[in-house]
Amino acid sequence: MTETLIAVIGGSGIYEIDGLEGAAWTTVETPWGTPSDQILTGRLEGVKMAFLPRHGRGHVHAPSDVPYRANIDALKRLGATDVISVSACGSFREHMAPGDFVIVDQFIDRTFARAKSFFSSGCVAHVALAHPTCPRLSDAVEAAAGAAGINTHRGGTYLAMEGPQFSTLAESKMYREHWGADVIGMTNMPEAKLAREAELCYASVAMVTDYDSWHPDHGEVDVTAVIATLKGNSEKGRALIKGLPARLGAERAPCPHGCDRALEYAIMTAPEKRDPALLAKLDAVAGRVL
Ligand SMILES: CSC[C@H]1O[C@H](OP(=O)(O)O)[C@H](O)[C@@H]1O
Ligand SMILES: Nc1ncnc2[nH]cnc12
């Protein structure tokens, strides 16, 4: 058994969480640079927790510039076992309405201006990503959301766009009608890929703030409307987070879906050909197998 540490990455409009016992903002440096902000650590019902605001307090990092690798490395370095991403998103489905939460289970990665892997020449690795989120962690999130009375949809495909501009009408219709995406945002990729490489269980809660631009009865998306909906949702998000420790417990068995062993057979580069400088940077992420 391993001690559980539940890490929450808060998205737009969520820059801190309350109620942690022994709460302290902690500075964590990583070989991949400085994370988005300090990390709030503490305990909820005796279970270790960490909270990282993805855009930093005061929303200083644009989606393309979020230090995704530093964030995931820092959480791993702190001992995180589980990462719950909380994000704002637009909806492509009438029944996924503003105010609803979608527990995402698939992604389409349309981002192109971000570093997407901890691995590269000198230590090449290919992890499986067919199922990019952890069903066990998503079960806990679904149960906590249900207990908090949140209108929740289990499963959905999140299209990650580069941004920072919102989509054109043609893009919005293409993603919805031809690509089968359910929601859209700018941050869950490469975050989910990096969490898998770091052998962390990852679940994503996308809070619907708007209908993007496809819906004939709704105007095009703008940030004021997004923030207004998010403010209404923040209580619900907090209630969901408070329900997680009881459902995940202070100790965890190995992940039945193998998230915590994702690197077991992933590294291709022969031991004698590996780059020592890159291996040093991979100490937290891949130390278990190196
Ligand atoms: C404020 S609207 C656009 C912005 O909000 C979302 O951020 P996050 O995923 O961190 O909640 C979206 O991805 C964009 O970055
Ligand atoms: N419509 C939208 N597109 C991209 N990111 C979003 N975040 C919130 N709403 C969004």
pLDDT tens column, 80-136: 999 999 999 999 999 999 999 999 999 999 999 999 999 999 999 999 999 999 999
82 as an active site residue: the answer is no
Q: Whose CA is nearest to atom 13 of ligand 1?
A: 186
Question: How far is the C-alpha of 184 from the C-alpha of 157, rounded, in Å?
Answer: 8
Q: How far is the CA of 87 from the centre of ligand 2 (A)?
A: 9
Q: Mark 104-141 as b/e (b = at least 16 C-beta within 10 Å).
A: bbbbebbbeebebebbeeebebebeeeebbbbbbbebb
Q: Residue 183: which of 113, 100, 67 has the closest Cα?
A: 100
The pLDDT score that the predictor gives to residue 101 is 97
Q: How far is the CA of 109 from the centre of ligand 1 (A)?
A: 15
Question: How far is the C-alpha of 261 from the C-alpha of 250, rounded, in Å?
Answer: 20
- The answer to whether the beta carbons of residues 184 and 158 sit under 8 Å apart is yes
Q: How far is the CA of 208 from the centre of ligand 2 (A)?
A: 9
Question: How far is the C-alpha of 90 from the C-alpha of 132, rounded, in Å?
Answer: 20
Task: For 203-262, write each residue's pLDDT tens digit.
Answer: 999 999 999 999 988 888 888 888 888 888 878 888 999 999 999 999 999 999 999 999
Where does ligand 2 bind, in terms of residues with CB under 6 Å? 88-90, 161, 166, 184-186, 209-210, 212, 221, 226
Q: Catalytic: which of 100, 210, 222, 283?
A: 210
The pLDDT score that the predictor gives to residue 248 is 97
The pLDDT score that the predictor gives to residue 230 is 86
The pLDDT score that the predictor gives to residue 34 is 98
Exposed, middle or buried by CB within 10 Å (0-12, 13-18, 19+), for 161? buried
Q: How far is the CA of 170 from the centre of ligand 1 (A)?
A: 20
The pLDDT score that the predictor gives to residue 225 is 84
Average pLDDT over residues 131-148: 97
pTM, 2 dp: 0.98
The reply to whether ligand 1 has any atom less than 6 angstroms from the CB of 13 is no
CATH number for the domain formed by residue range(s) 2-86+107-156+187-200+233-281: 3.40.50.1580
Q: How far is the CA of 53 from the centre of ligand 1 (A)?
A: 12
Q: Residue 182: which of 66, 96, 258, 268 has the closest Cα?
A: 96
212 as an active site residue: the answer is yes
Task: Please state the atom number of ligand 2 nearest to the C-alpha of residue 91.
Answer: 1
Q: Whose CA is nearest to atom 8 of ligand 2?
A: 89
Question: How far is the C-alpha of 255 from the C-alpha of 181, rounded, in Å?
Answer: 28
Enclosing H/E stretch for 103: strand 101-104
The reply to whether ligand 1 has any atom less than 6 angstroms from the CB of 223 is yes
The pLDDT score that the predictor gives to residue 50 is 98
The pLDDT score that the predictor gives to residue 130 is 98
The reply to whether ligand 1 has any atom less than 6 angstroms from the CB of 41 is no
Interface pTM (ipTM) of the complex? 0.99
The yes-or-no verdict on residue 31 having pLDDT over 90 is yes
Task: Domain ranges for the chain, please list them.
Answer: 2-86+107-156+187-200+233-281
**Which DSSP symbol is given to 177?**
I
Task: For 266-284, write each residue's pLDDT tens digit.
Answer: 999 999 999 999 999 999 9
Q: Whose CA is nearest to atom 6 of ligand 1?
A: 88
Task: For 149-196, write each residue's pLDDT tens digit.
Answer: 999 999 999 999 999 999 999 999 999 999 999 999 999 999 999 999
